[in-house]
Amino acid sequence: MENSGPPADQDAGADAANSGAAPRQPGQYSFVVAASRLPVDRTQGPDGKHEWRASPGGLVTALEPVMRAAEGAWIGWPGSPGDPPEPFDTNGMHLVSIGLSAAEVRDYYEGFCNATLWPLYHDVIAQPEFHREWWDAYVRVNRRYAEAVAAEAAEGATVWVHDYQLQLVPGMVRSLRSDVRIGHFTHIPFPGYEIFAQLPWRKQIVQGLLGADLLGFQRQGDATNFLRACRRSAGLTTHGSYVWVPDTPVGDDDSRRRRLTARRSTGGRSVRAAAFPISIDTRGFGEIATRPGVQARAQEIREALGKPETVLLGVDRLDYTKGILHRLKAYGEVLSEGRLSPPAAVLVQVASPSRERVEHYKRLRDEVEGTVGRINGEFAEVGIPAVHYLHQSYPREEMAALYLAADVMLVTPLRDGMNLVAKEYVACRHDEDGALVLSEFTGAADELTGAFVVNPHDIEGLKDAIVRAATVSPAEARRRMRSMRRRVLDNDVAHWAETYLRALGQVPARASSGPPPGEHAHESAPAGPARAS
Ligand code: F6P
């Protein structure tokens, strides 16, 4: 999941000092979130002093309102190596920092999270690397998070663990605190088994996740892939959307008969794996877009671009999963075929800096910047670039102005768990104008059916979709945008969190004695070729 940018800066440290309310003691929080990052980043100001700034992730935007309402505790990494600061309270949240050493940033964050799991879970678009020392760091850091959760959670608390960086935490928390209810949500895709099977530690990952009571995924396909991984890599039995986790582990080599006997004779739990598509703060984002200052800024942007007839916009983290190169290739060909031409058409590509020390990201930046240079070299005129490339991050107000200024929004990832930029664009378009070109390989494509849906690998199809979106009639644009707005207004982030937490609350009490009523059992797949699931 991605979204565009941070809300206004805040000094969380000062906020804590001035809040006046006595912070609650550890072990008293009835709602605990564990996520890779804190909702604030520790940065160094121009005077060398440390300050806190709201961090740019989509998850922060998603959970902040829920956290404030529940007065929960949030456990995460402040974003730079070194000793963690003391816990502090801000905006109704208790923030507990996890410290990562420089070696752990390299081996856990840049290594196992972003050079092993990230490419593996995104269809191997880039080659994942498997290193045992990275895995060891992943286990060590996950344990640190789990211990912090166990220390903060009150008796019977609800714990919500997030994403691929923390897949071992549910199992570790369960072994430390069997009284708490544990949810996990995977924000990125969960890959098909043939890809997942490459991971040398696939069984440990499956077992770690199965420490949860409820496993949330973006799309039904992700949940289905996970259920298959349970059968194939851990020899477990699934029942519709439930996995049966026996108290006595079943050995890899046990026969089907022994596994069946084990299921009848041992106790265990059922874990549910299901889709809960995440969304955005639709009304909050929409409200920003109605502000006169933001609307004036949108006009100003169009004027600065030379008042083109058509503004096309891409907004992405600079990541190889986002399909930026495919988009640029298609756009370059559209220009060279004269189907669109500057200065009447202008592309603005925002590519916010990300994971800049990871090799694949360094290479991608060079390729994207080289491609933008080539397109501009061929099609720009003095003072009129064909592509405006911005390697920067912007606050939400500027993003909303860009969305309002854009006639066509290009969201063309090769694979994306959800893609919240697509939803943000729709949320801003009160005028029911504007067209969205959307990759079918995003979670958002399941919901935003009013988009011009494309396969980004099909460059001819992508070119046609870009031209169709740029030349769509106002009536068709309105019909499409209206249906997308309805969807994004109905399923906003509050609805997502409520739906997930309600489902987590319905999990039967600990150590249930079998699959829930009405579910039909499928036995685990035998070794050998995969069974369709
Ligand atoms: O989409 C997964 C995610 O972890 C988001 O939560 C986050 O915004 C993005 O990837 C970038 O993450 P990071 O900067 O922590 O690597």
pLDDT at 524 over 50: no
- At 25 the pLDDT is 66
Given a cut of 80, whether residue 66 has pLDDT beyond it is no
Q: How many angstroms is it from 227 CA to the middle of ligand 1? A: 24
Question: How many Å lie between the centroid of ligand 1 and the Cα of residue 60?
Answer: 10
pLDDT at 77: 94
Q: Give 254 or 403, the one with higher predicted confidence.
A: 403
For strands 345-352 and 242-246, give the pairing.
Answer: unpaired
The pLDDT mean for the chain works out to 88
Give the position, in ligand 1's atom list, of the atom nearest the Cα of 114.
Answer: 16
Predicted pLDDT at 253: 58
For the beta carbon of residue 157, count every other beta carbon within 10 angstroms.
21
> Where does residue 292 rank: exposed (0-12), middle (13-18), buried (19+ CB within 10 A)?
exposed
Considering only CA atoms, give the Rg of the chain.
24
pLDDT value of position 152: 96
pLDDT of 181 reads: 96
- pLDDT higher than 60, residue 167: yes
Return the pLDDT at 177.
Answer: 96
User: Would you say residue 527 has pLDDT above 90?
Assistant: no
- CA distances (Å), 439 to each of 121, 174, 412, in order? 17, 38, 5
Q: Cα separations (Å) of 393 from 55, 235, 354, 370, 411?
A: 11, 45, 10, 20, 17
Strand pairing report for 435-439 and 408-411: parallel
Query: Which residues are registered as beta bridge partners of 89?
Result: 94
Among 44-53, 120-129, 413-422, 505-514, the least confident range: 505-514
Higher pLDDT residue, 525 or 461?
461
Which segment of 14-23, 25-34, 138-147, 368-377 scores lowest on mean pLDDT? 14-23
What's the gap between Cα 355 and its chain centre? 15
| pLDDT above 90 for 192 | yes
Q: How confident is the model at residue 22 (pLDDT cuts 50, 70, 90)?
A: low
473 C-alpha to ligand 1 centroid (Å): 37
Q: Whose CA is nearest to atom 8 of ligand 1?
A: 57
Least confident range from 109-123, 236-250, 448-462, 477-491: namely 236-250
Q: How far is CA 316 from CA 51, 298, 391, in A?
A: 26, 19, 10
pLDDT digits (tens, 9 = 90+) for 208-233: 999 999 999 999 999 999 999 999 99
The pLDDT, as a whole number, for residue 114 is 97
Per-residue confidence at 13, pLDDT binned at 50, 70, 90?
very low
Q: Which residue out of 59, 112, 415, 424 has the highest number of ligand 1 atoms within 8 Å of its CB and is therefore the one to mutate?
A: 59
Q: Ligand 1 centroid to 157 CA: how many Å?
A: 26
Of the listed ranges 15-19, 143-147, 158-162, 428-432, the least confidently predicted one is: 15-19
Alpha-carbon gap, residue 387 to 401, rounded angstroms? 18
What atom of ligand 1 comes closest to residue 57's alpha carbon? 8
pLDDT score recorded for residue 414: 98
SS3 360: helix
Ligand 1 atom nearest the C-alpha of 1 is 1
What pLDDT is recorded for position 254?
58
Q: Give the whole-angstrom CA distance, residue 298 versus residue 20.
A: 40
Cα 94 to Cα 131: distance, rounded to the nearest angstrom: 35
Q: Across 262-359, where does the E strand assignment appear?
A: 268-275, 310-317, 345-352
Ligand 1 centroid distance, CA of 59 (Å) = 8
CA–centroid distance, residue 56 to ligand 1 (Å): 9
Query: Which residue's CA is minimally distant from atom 2 of ligand 1?
Result: 1
pLDDT at residue 127 in the model = 97
Mean pLDDT for 515-520 is 35
Q: What is the pLDDT of residue 151?
A: 96
